[in-house]
Amino acid sequence: MTRRGASAVDPGAPGLGATESRYSSRMALPERRPATYEDVIAAPEHKVAEVVDGELYLNPRPAKPHAAAASALGEELGPPFKRGKGGPGGWILLDEPELHLGKDILVPDLGGWRRERMPALTIDLPYFTLSPDWVCEVLSPSTERLDRRKKLAAYARERVGHVWLVNPLARTLEVLELDGQRYAIVAVHADDERVRARPFDAIELELSILWADVQQDG
In a domain, 54, yes or no: no
Note whether residue 76 is domain-resident.
yes
Residue 82, in any domain of the structure? yes
For residue 189, the domain's CATH number is 3.90.1570.10
Task: Judge whether 124 lies within some domain.
Answer: yes
- Asked if pLDDT for residue 6 goes beyond 50, the answer is no
Is 144 inside any structural domain?
A: yes
Output the pTM of the full model: 0.84
Lowest mean pLDDT, pick from 6-20, 31-45, 82-96, 137-151: 6-20
Q: Is the pLDDT of residue 11 over 60?
A: no
pLDDT bracket for residue 216 (50, 70, 90): low
Give dist(CA 187, CA 173) in Å, integer: 8
The residue among 200, 205, 164 whose CA lies nearest residue 89 is 200
36 domain-assigned = no
Residue 23 falls inside a structural domain: no
Residue 17 is assigned to a structural domain of this protein: no
Mean pLDDT for 40-61 is 95
pLDDT tens figures, 62-112: 999 999 999 999 999 999 999 999 999 999 999 999 999 999 999 999 999
Domain count across the chain: 1
Phi, psi (degrees; rounded to nearest 5) at 93:
-120, 130
Helix (H, G, I), strand (E, B) or coil at 205: strand
User: How confident is residue 50, by pLDDT bands cut at 50, 70 and 90?
Assistant: very high
Task: State residue 30's pLDDT score.
Answer: 58
pLDDT band per the 50, 70, 90 thresholds, residue 154? very high
Rounded to whole angstroms, how far apart are CA atoms 43 and 61?
13
Write out the residue range of the structural domain in which residue 66 sits: 62-211
